[in-house]
Amino acid sequence: MKRTGTLLAGMLAEGAFAGTSGSSPVPEVGGRLVFSMNRNWRFSRLAVPEARTKDFDDSRFERVVIPHTNTRLPWHSFDDKDYEFVSVYRRHFKLPLGTRGRRVFVDFEGVMTASTVWLNGIRLGEYKGGYTPFSFELTPYLDFDSDNVLAVEVDSTERADIPPFGHQIDYLTFGGIYREVALRIVPPTFIDNIFAKPKDVLTLYPRLEIDCFLEHLEPSRETLSLEVTLRDGDRVLATGSQRVPPAASASDPAPHTVRLEKLGPVVLWDLARPKLYSVYVRLLNGSRLVDEDSCTIGFREARFTENGFELNGKVVKLRGLDRHQTFPFAGQAMPGRVQRRDAQILRNNFKCNIVRTSHYPQSRHFLDACDELGLLVLEEIPGWQHIGDAAWKDLSVDNVRRMIRRDWNHPSIILWGVRINESRDDHDFYTRTNALAHQLDPTRQTGGIRNFEQSELLEDVFTINDFGFPLRAPNHPLYLNTEFVGHTYPTKTIDNTERLTEHTMRHARIHNQLASNPQYAGGLGWCAFDYNTHFDFGSGDRICYHGVADIFREPKPAAGFYKSQCDPDEEIVLEPAFRWARGDESIGFTKGVVCSNCDHLKFYVDNKLIAELDPDRSEFGNLRHPPFVLHLQPFRNAWGDLRIEGYIQGKQLIVKRYSGKGIDQQFSVLPDDTDLVADGADTTRVVLRVADEFGAIRSFANDAIQLDVEGPAEIIGDNPFALVGGTGAVWLRAKEQAGRVRLTASHPVLGKRQLDFEIAAAAPEAV
């Protein structure tokens, strides 16, 4: 859940203590303080028992910044055992003066896989799970006047007692404290969570119900009150309040509901205009502030019906991809900027309207970006085919709880996945997960990803992986296809045109069938990006080449099909599914497929018109924008530069050119961003490409690119980096000093390219 109030409080706290040693006083105001704890960690690959103690000398440990992977790896052909070890992280901190009398928690957003936490040598407990957040209370064991030491022993082995492990899984989990950490200081009675539920959003009188969960860590004899404000930016739309009666101490947070009526007209959250609002909650004792928090929401109605999926009362055919959150070299340890970029690629570059977080809850930064971009989400619990024993199932049920309570305010999330992906039926287990999801969040439907048609349906929506063609007919009124193509047709960027084209056509055929029947709510192809896997899956180099983009997020031709299905008002698309080369098919170049949302194409070779085409509606009659298929046999003697012109209603709107010379002509270095923050974690992708004179990638360029960095940043990736399919990427991570960075990339023939980055100063961490 995007908790903007918490984050704002943390930033204010950092600003208040900027440049101090951590012994500054807490301001004499109420409310919480949240401090980032991502810098100044000490790390050792060897977890010695002495490192759990307070006085252990960790000066020889490596100084690291969170997110952190326990080891950096090649992008392929490595052994997963290289990251499967037990490591230790240590963090020294001092509390601000005036903290005594408050409660102090450490919040971990994600640690892979099991975490045992000590404070000042005292064991606080173990958390089992790598994809869901957890916290430990530090209060009883803190030294409020001097140094404190957190020690986290991280077991990154594949333990059979923790989902998704216990059998084989087709992905890698990597290791380390790979999501952010924070120190949270709250009063004895505080706001534990907020769930804001829009109601009647399609009427003239939308409402908002806000469940405020209060945790009473000591008996309260006073009558408190909750004050809730709905805002559009700085503009207040509505306020409401609710008295909170005195309560005894309780271990479970108690919900108190505040209702906001008569909101007036609100802008609905939808795909084209994902409008967001803010909800601010204050806990008051009279006029004195006790605690405060906030969240971001959207007003929308999202339901699967017998007509398909409906958003705000209108049927939307779902068209998306499944996503693994792993990256080359760094595993899962990428910060917010990189996580958000994946959502931007899916929504803006590939024009998807839905993503599935296969097969686990993913970064809050990714989900925040989905909210902001209008990208729908199916989020599911960790797991892959295997169901463990009773204790394993209890952890899985707890994963449902933590996933939903973290993410229930995201308007982008439309379906909770409450089964283990492709697992066998288990009536009692899935009755529990489904019931818990409905209990926690009655506003959303549930699904469960299965791979066999006769599976028992306990959820609301029958969600199924179907890798056959043609697809099975829907056997339930609410029906969503959640995987197809993928592992049945792995495709690399260096494969020949026949395979690249067929890969594209298979995705097109599936979506054509999905469009043929309104009972198909749509589908999510397997998958967005190639990903690392175990030795018994993939292509023999620890990669599954199942994506419509490679592991560096560079698109294959199949990504062009997804992109071509957008409205021309959004973008004019023309994406060939072939290389312009005579001999790239086994029998010569005979068929050229182009994915486009134009209604007419013209093809020229050396400026001579060779063909005009309309979309292929004979095979793809259900698609709004079918592919174009050019049969080249009549033009086999024509060779030279290719020009394709795209027309809509007789007007030329796009032109693309491809060289017939077969020469590497251009070397490009393309950063996603050039402004970073000197927090030691901020990172951006830098794409390397070799192209012809018109900018088309030369797919067999495999040159080694030498990279040199001047200034406060480091390269995450191979150096030199050998291109794959004419392209590839490394990531540039800022260090903790502000300044200018120059990246020089040297191609052995095409010369050097230089990029300049500005690294802005980051506020120091206050503890």
Tokens describing residue 420:
């283990």
Please give, one letter per residue, the 3-state secondary structure of 597-621.
CCCEEEEEECCEEEEEECCCCCCCC
Short-list 267, 254, 329, 319, CA closest to 297: 267
625 and 564 in contact (C-beta within 8 Å)?
yes
Short-list 631, 632, 623, CA closest to 597: 623
How far apart CA 745 and CA 759 sit, in angstroms, is 19
How far apart CA 661 and CA 677 sit, in angstroms, is 43
How far apart CA 484 and CA 466 sit, in angstroms, is 6
90 and 61 in contact (C-beta within 8 Å)?
yes
162 burial (CB, 10 Å; 0-12 / 13-18 / 19+) is buried
How many angstroms separate the most distant Cα atoms in the chain? 91
Listed in sequence order, the residues at least 6 apart from 644 whose beta carbon sits closer than 8 Å to its beta carbon are 574, 576, 594, 601, 602, 603, 604, 655, 656, 657, 658
Listed in sequence order, the residues at least 6 apart from 145 whose beta carbon sits closer than 8 Å to its beta carbon are none
How far apart CA 558 and CA 527 sit, in angstroms, is 11
How far apart CA 379 and CA 358 sit, in angstroms, is 8
How far apart CA 602 and CA 584 sit, in angstroms, is 22
142 and 95 in contact (C-beta within 8 Å)?
yes
How far apart CA 673 and CA 489 sit, in angstroms, is 33
Establish whether 483 is a catalytic residue: yes
Q: Interior CA angle at 136 toward 32 and 763, to 5°?
A: 50
How far apart CA 611 and CA 125 sit, in angstroms, is 70
How far apart CA 475 and CA 167 sit, in angstroms, is 30
Listed in sequence order, the residues at least 6 apart from 184 whose beta carbon sits closer than 8 Å to its beta carbon are 6, 32, 33, 34, 35, 104, 105, 106, 107, 135
353 and 272 in contact (C-beta within 8 Å)?
no
Q: What is 115-131 written as a DSSP string?
A: EEEEETTEEEEEEE-SS
456 and 427 in contact (C-beta within 8 Å)?
yes
- Which of the following is catalytic: 84, 109, 153, 422? 422
- Which of the following is catalytic: 215, 380, 483, 575? 483
Establish whether 422 is a catalytic residue: yes
Q: Is the dihedral of CA 399, 405, 406, 409 positive or negative?
A: positive
Please give, one letter per residue, the 3-state secondary structure of 73-89.
CCCCCCCHHHCCCEEEE
The contacts found for 633-638 with CB under 8 angstroms, 24 or more apart, are: 633/590, 635/605, 635/610, 635/611, 636/588, 636/589, 638/605, 638/606, 638/608, 638/610
Rg for the chain, CA atoms, rounded: 27
DSSP annotation of 5? H
How far apart CA 402 and CA 389 sit, in angstroms, is 20
135 and 107 in contact (C-beta within 8 Å)?
yes
Measured between its terminal Cα atoms, the distance across the chain in Å is 24
Which H or E run contains 642?
strand 642-648
Name the residues annotated as catalytic. 422, 483
